[in-house]
Amino acid sequence: MEEFTLFGSFHHGALGELKRNNPLLHTAAINLPNDTRLPSEIAAEIGCEGFICSMRELTHKRSKDAIAHGIYLGVYTVNSREDLDFALSRKAKAIATNFPARILEEIRARG
């Protein structure tokens, strides 16, 4: 089951330690409030392969950096069609939502 689990945390130190002790686990750093570092900087520091941030924090710069460095990108809180459009335009691969049925319906409608 470990190979299908993504461990995400705001506690980057703990996440880095988890990854060092279990290098095959998948990890994603959740962006800390007011942390302006790029996903690649955080990934280099703690060894994670994913980056998760809020809609507000998902800037073009962060998105382009994650893509350029092969970092899996996730975003929260995607609650509307407009939010989904925004997240997908920034190439997010994982979304968190308070309305999963609504977002799934929108994704299915897009084909």
User: How much of the chain is in helix, strand and coil states, percent to nearest 5?
Assistant: 45, 20, 35
Instruction: Select from 102, 108, 111, 77 the least CA-distant residue to 92.
Output: 77
Q: Are 85 and 97 in contact (CB under 8 A)?
A: no
Q: Are 30 and 57 in contact (CB under 8 A)?
A: no
Please state the rounded mean pLDDT for residues 23-35.
96
Q: Cis link prior to 97 (omega < 30° from 0)?
A: no
Extents of the domains making up the chain: 2-109
pLDDT at 2 over 80: no
Q: Are 52 and 78 in contact (CB under 8 A)?
A: no
**CATH homologous superfamily of domain 2-109?**
Phosphatidylinositol (PI) phosphodiesterase (3.20.20.190)
Quote the tokens at residue 55.
């809609």
Per-residue pLDDT band at 16 (split at 50, 70, 90): very high
